[in-house]
């Protein structure tokens, strides 16, 4: 992944601005750079993971073609995919709505969202780790270990996002200035970053809590929670605050804050309820 990212950076420079006989492609060059680096990532991953992957296919067993394990994976995995899609769709919808206010607002929105997405990678990784630790604890029937891992993951995620929130609140103009020197765009991005700082904590809580529940095989409920929080609450509030109040474009982001807070709060309640159950009651095939 690191090699692919370095390649992506180099290709962005080359394809956007041109060089080595390649004409400048502008914004389209960035898309091509990302596409090429992602295509190269797959064979690199297969090569470095070959020692772990090859034994899985040798010898080939007829049981590998059974549909029952696939159905089990789909029961657990499909709601996760829908859950992530709902969250991404909410942010994409806000970007489209932001376009109604003008190019300056869209550009500022993208800068703030890019910075928020960058910090989001850390709690997302913590959430993935929490899923593994929770699943292992269930497999060992280790209730104290499950609770300890869950609390540690939530505490770490909240602590990190609280720190980034303080940075967003303290120096928004400095951060936005990394991306542009356009005064209007920089000013709007700097206005959005403190709001991003507010939803940072909620975002960290929801992604870690969702990871814990995935480790328990609980994926259907988080999907429904995302549907209610992001679509029914978040987008509805974005539309209302953005187009029915004097907040305007900024109101779209406050709608996201409300949606994220809703999702985070309900997921926390779900995790709390889950940790009170006997650890042996959880089934890896459970999705309720």
pLDDT in tens, 194-249: 999 998 899 999 999 999 999 998 889 999 999 999 999 999 999 999 999 999 99
* pLDDT tens column, 77-135: 899 999 889 889 999 999 999 999 999 999 999 999 999 999 999 999 999 999 999 99
C-alpha dist (Å) from residue 62 to 39, 58, 67, 141 = 31, 12, 11, 32
Residues 158 and 36 in one domain: no
**How far apart, in whole angstroms, are the C-alpha atoms of residue 56 and residue 23?**
45
Model confidence, pTM: 0.82
Residues 146 and 192 in one domain: yes
Tally of structural domains, the chain:
2
Instruction: Answer yes or no: is 264 within a domain.
Output: yes
DSSP 25-41: -THHHHHHHHHHHHHHH
Residues 42 and 123 in one domain: no
What pLDDT does residue 281 have? 65
Residues 31 and 151 in one domain: no
Q: For residue 194, give the H/E element and its range.
A: helix 183-215
Domain that holds residue 222: 79-281
| Terminal Cα-to-Cα distance of the chain (whole angstroms) | 34
Instruction: Answer yes or no: is 31 within a domain.
Output: yes
Q: How is residue 63 annotated by DSSP?
A: G
Instruction: Answer yes or no: is 254 within a domain.
Output: yes
- CB-based contact 131:215 (threshold 8 Å): yes
Is residue 288 scored above 50 in pLDDT? Answer: no
Residues 145 and 186 in one domain: yes
Residues 102 and 41 in one domain: no
Listed in sequence order, the DSSP H helices in 62-102 are: 67-98
């Amino acid at each position: 992944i690191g090699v692919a990212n370095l390649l992506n950076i180099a290709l962005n420079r080359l394809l956007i601005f041109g060089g080595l006989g390649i004409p400048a492609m502008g914004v389209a060059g960035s898309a091509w750079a990302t596409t090429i680096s992602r295509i190269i990532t797959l064979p690199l991953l297969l090569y470095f993971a070959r020692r772990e992957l090859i034994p899985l296919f040798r010898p080939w067993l007829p049981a590998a073609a059974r549909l029952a394990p696939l159905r089990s994976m789909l029961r657990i995995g499909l709601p996760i995919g829908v859950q992530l899609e709902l969250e991404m769709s909410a942010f994409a919808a806000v970007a489209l709505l932001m376009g109604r206010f003008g190019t300056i607002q869209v550009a500022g929105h993208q800068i703030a969202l890019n910075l928020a997405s960058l910090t989001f990678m850390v709690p997302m990784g913590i959430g993935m780790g929490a899923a593994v630790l929770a699943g292992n604890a269930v497999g060992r029937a280790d209730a104290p270990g499950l609770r300890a891992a869950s609390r540690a993951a939530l505490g770490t995620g909240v602590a990190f996002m609280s720190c980034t929130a303080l940075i967003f609140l303290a120096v928004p103009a400095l951060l936005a200035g990394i991306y542009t020197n356009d005064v209007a765009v920089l000013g709007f991005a700097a206005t959005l970053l403190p709001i991003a700082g507010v939803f940072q904590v909620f975002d960290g809580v929801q992604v870690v809590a969702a990871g814990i529940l995935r480790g328990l095989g609980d994926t259907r409920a988080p999907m429904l929670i995302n549907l209610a929080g992001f679509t029914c609450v978040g987008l509805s509030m974005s539309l209302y605050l953005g187009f029915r109040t004097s907040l305007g474009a900024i109101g779209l982001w406050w709608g996201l804050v409300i949606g994220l807070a809703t999702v985070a709060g309900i997921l926390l309640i779900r995790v709390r309820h889950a940790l009170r159950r006997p650890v042996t009651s959880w089934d890896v095939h459970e999705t309720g």
